[in-house]
Amino acid sequence: MKQYKVYANPQGNHEAVKQGWSWPAFFFSLIWAMIKKMWGLGVGVLIALLVLGFIIGISGISGAESLINGVVIMIKIMFGINGNKWREDNLSTRGYEYKETVAASNPEEAIAFCMKENSEG
């Protein structure tokens, strides 16, 4: 079982965010950010990588490929560590309100548990 924070917006939509390391954010960083509607983060990192690649390309630095690979790995680690927290912050700015933290096997189960608990109370 994993810990999930469940959020809801006034329209009744629910989102569950797993606590801790985010493997999807680690492996699919920019795509993951876009899918989770974190447009500023995704576009910002994409632009930063393009600018870095351009600067390194025109400067002719030896070992440029290793430098770029190192930067990409650092970005992926940052996404893995901070991805779920960034997602929580994004949900809050989009009008979602924190409901509770629940233990569940997956996000759907966490949402169902939270909704059941709230309808009983």
pLDDT in tens, 33-71: 999 999 999 999 999 999 988 888 887 777 778 888 899
CA distance 111 to 121: 15
CA distance 32 to 46: 12
User: Which has more pLDDT, 57 or 100?
Assistant: 100
Give the SS3 label for residue 9. Answer: coil
What's the pTM? 0.88
Backbone dihedral angles phi then psi of residue 25, each to the nearest 5 degrees: -65, -35
CA distance 36 to 88: 10
CA distances from 15 to 31, 43, 91, 95 (A): 18, 23, 8, 12
